[in-house]
Amino acid sequence: LDRVQEQAAIVREIGMAMQQLNRELGMTVLLVEQKLPFARWVAQQFCIIDKGRAVATGAIADLNDNLVRQYLTV
């Protein structure tokens, strides 16, 4: 259980550091992430790539359940 809690704390720290870099330095970070809740928390924009082509892009708030079901589920 400690390892799980430690991992969650590290993930939170990484997310907060990414947000701080963007906010304070205007730095853009390219995040490739499979855990959607983390991506929604950290990202401002999204791009879904399917078979090498960008098939959906936009504000992270616009990443809806239909897109998730269509491209991001098994």
Rounded CA-CA distance 47/67 in Å is: 11
Range of the domain at 52: 2-71
Amino acid at 31: L
pLDDT > 70? residue 28: yes
What is the tally of structural domains in the chain? 1
| Model pTM score | 0.78
pLDDT, tens only, 45-74:
999 999 999 999 999 999 999 999 999 887
With cut-offs at 50, 70 and 90, classify the pLDDT of residue 2.
low
Task: Please name every residue paired with 45 in a beta bridge, in sequence order, or none if there are none.
Answer: 59
Residues 6+ apart with CB under 8 A from 15: 38, 41, 42
pLDDT > 80? residue 39: yes
pLDDT at 6: 77
